[in-house]
Amino acid sequence: MQTEIRKMCDKKNLINIIKSSLESLKISRATEIEKEIINIHDHLRGRKNNKKHKFTFIDLFAGIGGMRMGFESVYGKCVMSSEIDRRALATYFCNFGDLVPAEHRDITKLKGAKVPDHDILLAGFPCQAFSIAGERRGFQDTRGTLFFDIQKIIAAKRPKAFLLENVKGLINHDKGKTFKVILHTLEKKLGYQVHYKILNTMEHGNIPQTRERIYIVGFDKKIFKNIKFDFPKPIKLKKRISHLLEKKQKDDTLFYERFGMHSILKKEITKIDVVYQWRRAYVRENKSNACPTLTANMGTGGHNVPLIKDPFCKRVRKLSPRECANFQGFPSSYFIPSFLAKSYLYKQFGNSVSVPVVQRIAENILKAIQK
């Protein structure tokens, strides 16, 4: 689908392809989709393609393409994507022009023979099974066992390298037993040299968000002997919260005057350039000069909602989806479809990765395998 979109010059035919692709994902709000067709068309036509790519990769648990963006920025070419959430697939399609085929969406049904050859495997596999925000059931949770589906693909295709991403809680889940199984699988069963480290977005991505994630990098020992790889070093945080806030007039649905707890919010939220959180019954000020970790449930309105005092109108509001994209390091050119409900957009950005951190890891992986 991606190649077809890129090569087609007939605008009418291209618009029909976009429309039919979104309809195939069974996305509702058809009127809004109709309004956005031209914008999606213009975005896809203007998207740069890495014609002179240096390596290939596959994008498992692709979400909305955060990992992909990091690796495309260092001249990687995506040869396959896998994602099961149809709304995330809609956002992914609007940005990359790839309509993930049905047989690639459920990784538990994805056979190794169906996966194209590739140099690097990417997988930000589901974190809920290991997150302190959930029940932390690990491998007892079906989402935790998805790691073994990644294992099967690595065993079948033997990529030169891989990058896996998860919450930092993975490392000590079940007193470290879960992570021990993962390392044993990658190192002993699959034969990869493995490096791992917890990186914080505000320390390694020049983005003011406190977001600690574990990144696991592996290199095939059959190809590389004692490969030299280092995770990116910390960098100075130069961006402020105010740099990532939208300056245009905001949607009224972002403001909190209509909610019963508004008097509490107005009293507690007094500082500009600070992100607060509504914690069900009280307000918590984030004192690190950064946004607290964006979560998948921040759009539901009940918990972990990032709040600010708008510097322009001095009213209390939550972050917009575009601002959440900014706090994850997505470029301003990233297309955010308005035909999706805001709750789904918040979930997508909360589940995503911090693009600048992934890009810096990608640069170091590339340096290592090219030596």
Q: How far is CA 11 from each of CA 8, 35, 37, 41, 45, rounded to the nearest angstrom?
A: 8, 16, 11, 8, 10
Region 6-10: mean pLDDT is 52
pLDDT at 28: 65
Q: Over the stretch 125-152, which tens digit does the pLDDT of each residue have?
A: 886 555 555 555 544 544 457 899 999 9
Q: What is the pLDDT of residues 261-271, one digit of tens each?
A: 788 888 999 99
Phi, psi of 207 (to 5 degrees): -130, 125
- pLDDT at residue 164 in the model: 97
Q: Residue 360: pLDDT above 80?
A: yes
Phi/psi for 346 (5° steps) reads: -60, -40
pLDDT band at 6 (very low <50, low <70, confident <90, very high): low
pLDDT at 303 over 70: no
- Average pLDDT in the chain: 88
Q: Among 18-32, 195-209, 261-275, 319-333, where is mean pLDDT lowest?
A: 18-32
**pLDDT above 70 covers what percent of the chain?**
89
Amino acid letter, residue 173: H
pLDDT at 143: 47
| Mean pLDDT comparison of 33-37, 133-137, 175-179, 332-336, highest-scoring range | 332-336
Q: Side chain identity at 331, as an amino acid letter?
A: P
> Which domains, from first to last, does the chain contain?
51-236+353-370 (3.40.50.150), 247-319 (no CATH)
Specify whether 313 is catalytic. Answer: no
Q: Are the C-beta atoms of residues 104 and 78 closer than 8 Å to each other?
A: no
Run of H or E including 133:
none
- Check pLDDT > 90 for residue 71: yes
Token pair, residue 27, equals 């996305």
Residue-wise over 158-171: b if at least 16 C-beta within 10 A, else e?
bbbbbbbbbbbbbb
Catalytic choice (94, 127, 291, 324): 127
- Residue 173 corresponds to which tokens in the numbers above? 């889940």
> Is 2 a residue whose pLDDT tops 80?
no
Q: Mean pLDDT, to the nearest integer, of 196-218?
A: 97
pLDDT of residue 127: 60
Contact (Cβ atoms closer than 8 angstroms) between residue 240 and residue 318: no
What pLDDT is stored for residue 361 in this prediction? 98
Residue predicted with more confidence, 164 or 40: 164
E strand map for the chain:
55-60, 76-82, 120-123, 161-167, 192-200, 212-220, 276-278, 283-285, 305-309, 316-318
Residue 13 has pLDDT above 80, yes or no: no
Least reliable range by pLDDT among 73-82, 121-130, 215-224, 342-351: 121-130
Report the pLDDT value the prediction gives residue 3, as an integer from 0 to 100.
47
CA distances from 246 to 59, 70, 231, 240, 326 (A): 30, 23, 32, 13, 9
Alpha-carbon distance of 126 to 144, in angstroms, equals: 7
Angle between helices 30-46 and 86-96 (to 10 degrees): 40
Tens-digit pLDDT profile for residues 73-131: 999 999 999 999 999 999 999 999 898 999 999 999 998 888 999 999 999 988 655 55
* Closest CA relative to residue 56, chosen from 159, 163, 142, 201: 159
Which of 201, 199, 202, 229 has its CA nearest to residue 214? 199
What is d(CA 307, CA 296) in angstroms, rounded to the nearest whole number? 15
Q: In residues, how long is the chain? A: 371
Name the least confident of 74-88, 199-213, 231-245, 290-304. Answer: 290-304
How far is Cα 369 from Cα 223, in angstroms, rounded to an integer?
Answer: 9
Higher per-residue pLDDT: 83 or 18: 83
Instruction: Give me the mean pLDDT over the 301-311 stretch.
Output: 80
Q: At what angle do helices 30-46 and 11-24 cross, to 10 degrees?
A: 130
Rg (CA), the chain: 21
Residue 358 banded pLDDT, cuts 50, 70, 90: very high
- Report the Cα 50 to chain-centroid distance in Å: 20
